[in-house]
Amino acid sequence: MYYFHSLSQLKIESVKVNSLDDFSLNGFTFSGYIDLYNPSWLSLKVMQIDYNIVFEPTEQILSSGSLQGTELASRSTTRVPFKKTINWAPALSLVVQLATSKAPANIIFAGQVHITESVNLPFVYKLDIRDYFDSYAKEYLESKKESAIETIEEKYGKTVGAIAEHIANYLPI
């Protein structure tokens, strides 16, 4: 009887995306953790954690996956890390939103922690990736601008390169 009571006491303390990085022309990496609290005197096992990563405005699933089960030590919090790469190709609506609008570009990380066949803990975490994307786009364009100026300097000399750099400073980056 205590075992079933223990299962009902489990809870998700927090879900956090702590980084969006490795932005490239192919996609980006999404990583974070789920903190699971087991107040019971018994250690318990999570069967698995299933999740979807969804672009909120269109409800398009960008990615989905499962995390292996883990042991939850008694009377403690267990951190379960996750990391997933999101490719731009299947996420065209996200790309269009990021490129053409200043509206929030919310990504939802949602799923279920499966403790047993009948005991599941749902979770939802929402994050606006606009600032991350804008920062990447700015860095990317800046690097392309610098590369173009270097190429011009190599080909036509420093004077023409300086003129190109001056003109490039007027570009909206």
Question: What pLDDT digit, counting tens, does each position of 19-30 carry?
Answer: 877 777 777 888
Residues 101 and 54 in one domain: yes
Q: Which pLDDT score is estimated for 2?
A: 46
Residues 116 and 96 in one domain: yes
Q: What share of the chain is helix, strand, coil (3-state, %, to 5)?
A: 35, 45, 25
Mean pLDDT of 56-84: 90
E strands in 39-135: 44-45, 48-55, 60-68, 71-72, 76-87, 106-114, 120-128
- Tokens matching residue 136: 């990447």
DSSP, collapsed to helix, strand or coil, labels residue 86 as strand
Mean pLDDT of 105-121: 88
Residues 88 and 63 in one domain: yes
Helices and strands: H and E segment counts in the chain:
4, 9
**Whole-angstrom Cα Rg for the chain:** 23
Phi, psi of 138, rounded to the nearest 5 degrees: -65, -45
Share of the chain above pLDDT 70, in %: 72
Boundaries of domain holding 149: 130-173
The dihedral formed by the CA atoms of 52, 56, 57 and 62, expressed in degrees to the nearest 10: -30
Residues 162 and 99 in one domain: no
pTM of the model: 0.70
How many domains in the chain? Answer: 2
Residues 106 and 141 in one domain: no
Give the span between the Cα atoms of 165 and 145, in whole angstroms. Answer: 8
Residues 76 and 113 in one domain: yes
Residues 62 and 75 in one domain: yes
- Tokens matching residue 30: 């999404």
Residues 117 and 170 in one domain: no
- Cβ burial of 122 (10 Å; 0-12, 13-18, 19+) is exposed
Residues 100 and 65 in one domain: yes
Residues 42 and 54 in one domain: yes
